[in-house]
Chains A and B, each alone.
Chain A
Amino acid sequence: MEPMDFHVEAVGRRGINMVTRSGGMALLAGRFVATLKDIPRSMHLIVGQFYSIGVRSLPLIIVISVFVGAVSAWQAAYQFKFIGAPLRLLGSAVGKAVVIELAPVLSALVFAGRVGAGIAAELGTMRVTEQIDALESLGIDPVRYLVLPRMLACTVMVPMLVVFANFIAVIGALAVSIFGVDISSETFLNGYRMSFQLSDFLNGMIKAGVFGFLIGLVGCYEGMTTIGGAEGVGRSTTIAVVISSVLILIFNFFFAVLLFRI
């Protein structure tokens, strides 16, 4: 085969993969919505996932949020000095950045790495070891049994974690302001309060919910469609993290355009 043909074919195959993937994810999203009516009878599964997906991500979110808050205060102060802006506005700038971008986006990216990858690996292993076939053979719908609890937990828990992230990031930023930039906590918090708008916070939560949904959907889809042993599981895990991270950043841009009108 000529190298040129080979390229055309490879690109074509990639295009087809993307179409199958998007179609498959749309179908899975539809089946997820259809199983929402089974929430009451699946409570025992859902509670477990809320704990393992949500609660156990909390320490990680706390650690990254302290440092996200701290570095944004530091970098904002650095720029304020450069352009000669008054430091009493430091809290405003940091607060805005954290609430509308940094807390939702960075939490979601970290969550994709921890939880999205975990879901893809777990479901992928279950797929290649026929555990999903076994569920089906027992008349148990794997979408209800496996996908529903995980996608629900992601969609609900990412916004919850973002609430914590917002709060902890302010503490990190405050610490830097007091000890590094040398402004009082009162000045910082006044600035923060001045720029805080409930609608920003709520829009951040909406974003976070959509990011959580995407992470759950991509992780479940890649896991459920895994083929080919341990190597296949590895591939699904990587792809799940890559696709959900890229989707988070793309969606985030469109959210900015739609929700935060200039």
Chain B
Amino acid sequence: MPLIEVEQLSKRFGQHTVLDGISLSIERGESVVIIGQSGTGKSVVLKHLIRLLEPDDGRVIFDGCDLAEIGHAELTDVRRRIAMVFQSAALLDSLTVGENVGLGLKETRRMSSSEIAPIVEECLELVGLADAADKMPSELSGGMRKRVGLARAIANRPEVVLYDEPTTGLDPVTAETINELIVSLNERVNATSVAVTHDMHSAFMIAHRIIMLHRGMIVFDGTPQEIQASGDPIVRQFIEGKAVGPLTTQV
């Protein structure tokens, strides 16, 4: 049984249909990358996986539970097992970096500060921000904030990590460290990962499987080798990054 199953998911915002019946399934331990043009609904898909958004049609099933049908307590349990790295980092700006990273441990696992401190330190170290623990989020650069968001997500030792553009806005060296971190979490602790990225290099590095979204539908779902070999003009244009072709940028 797949760990995450999305069946015929549709989502509209007002008149605007963002997702038009997409289906996908993700196995335990798998690393899936979602690609697609800006504004096609990649972040919207991720948010459905932890019920930050609710489908207009279709279902999202996590480990056998339909997310729309479970109660408050079960949803909290599911959310403890899935962590999300937000595209905007979404750090709590009234808390320090260290408090942000330890927030889940303190509030949901009810660990004491002395238990939390070493975990926070370790997670910040993993993202290369060992000395930022006492800073406020407003004192950090965009890329640093993003990495704190990543540290916060992994501090809870989740089974599934949803990464929304984890390397966007990072310099190539830091981006590579983050890619390696994602791969190692997947390989070392067998964390299932679902990552949205625009960076094809990082997609090829972390993905077991790549899914491409276009106009609310899935136009490709296959291995990195398959996508390299794909003859589909939309897919080809995207992975080669050409301005001319069937994809256009709507302004």
Which A positions have Cβ atoms within 8 angstroms of B? 41, 126, 129-131, 133-141, 145
CB distance from A65 to the nearest CB of B (A): 30
User: When chains A and B are docked, how far (Å) is the Cα of A133 from the Cα of B88?
Assistant: 11
Q: Mark B62-95, 1 if CB is under 8 A from A, else 0.
A: 0000000000100011011011101010111100
The answer to whether A129 touches B103 (Cβ under 8 A) is: no
Q: How far is the CA of A99 from the CA of B149 in the complex (A)?
A: 51
Contact A131 B90, beta carbon cutoff 8 Å:
yes
Apart from A133-B86, A139-B76, A139-B108, list 16 A-B contacts with CB within 8 A: A126-B92, A129-B90, A130-B86, A130-B88, A131-B92, A133-B47, A134-B86, A135-B92, A135-B103, A136-B50, A137-B50, A137-B84, A138-B108, A138-B156, A140-B103, A140-B104
Return B104 CB to nearest CB of chain A, in Å: 4
Q: Name the residue in A135, A137, A139 with the highest tally of chain B Cβ atoms < 10 Å from its Cβ.
A: A137
- Whole-angstrom CA separation of A68 from B72 in the bound complex: 47
In the assembled complex, which residues on chain A have CB atoms less than 8 Å from the CB atom of B232? none
Whether A141 contacts B88 in the complex (CB less than 8 A), given A131-B93, A133-B47, comes out as no
- The secondary structure that dominates the B interface is mixed
Chain B residues, Cβ within 8 Å of A145: 107
Contacts of B244 in A (CB 8 A): none
* B91:A136 contact, CB within 8 angstroms: no
Pick the contact of A139: B47, B91, B104 (CB < 8 A). B104
Q: Which of B73-131 contact A (CB under 8 A)?
A: 76-77, 79-80, 82-84, 86, 88, 90-93, 103-104, 107-108, 110
Q: Which residues of chain A are within 8 angstroms of B156 by Cβ–Cβ distance?
A: 138-139
Q: How far is A122 from B18 in the complex, measured between Cα atoms in Å?
A: 30
- CA of A139 to CA of B47 in the docked complex: distance in angstroms? 14
Q: Closest approach, in angstroms, between the C-beta of A119 and any C-beta of chain B?
A: 13
Are the C-beta atoms of A137 and B83 separated by less than 8 Å?
A: yes
Chain A CB within 8 A of B52 CB: yes
| Pair B88/A137 contact, Cβ less than 8 Å | no
* Chain A nearest CB, measured from B97 CB (Å): 14
Given contacts A137-B83, A138-B79, contact A129 B88 (CB under 8 A): yes
Compute how far the CA of A131 lies from the CA of B88 in the bound complex, rounded to whole angstroms.
9
Complex interface: chain A residues within 8 A of B52 (CB)? 133, 136-137
Structural contact, B92 and A134, CB atoms closer than 8 A: yes
9 interchain pairs, CB-CB under 8 A: A41-B110, A130-B88, A133-B52, A134-B86, A134-B92, A136-B52, A137-B84, A138-B79, A138-B108
**Chain B residue with minimal CB distance to A140?**
B107
**Chain B residue, CB-CB nearest to A122:** B94
User: What 6 A-B pairs are tightest by C-beta distance, nearest first?
Assistant: A134-B90, A130-B90, A138-B104, A139-B79, A139-B80, A137-B84
Closest B residue to A34 by CB, please name it.
Answer: B72
Which chain B residues in 151-195 approach chain A with CB under 8 Å?
152, 156
Q: Which residues of B contact A141 (CB under 8 A)?
A: 72, 76
Partner of A131, one of B79, B80, B91, B107: B91
Which of chain A's residues has its CB closest to B95's CB? A131
The answer on a CB contact under 8 Å between A138 and B86 is: no
Chain A residues near B103 (CB-CB < 8 A): 135, 138, 140
How near does chain A come to B161, taking the closest CB pair, in angstroms? 11
A261 to chain B, nearest CB (A): 43
Q: Binary interface profile of B, 141-155, with partner A (CB < 8 Å = 1, else 0)? A: 000000001001000
A135 and B79 alpha carbons, distance in the complex (Å)? 10
Give Cα distance in the complex from A136 to B79, angstroms. 8
Distance A131 CA – B103 CA, assembled complex (angstroms): 12
What is the CA–CA distance of A219 and B204 in the complex, to the nearest angstrom?
A: 47
- In the bound complex, what is the Cα–Cα distance between A134 and B148 (angstroms)? 13
Minimum CB–CB distance for A137 against chain B, Å = 4
Give Cα distance in the complex from A20 to B77, angstroms: 29
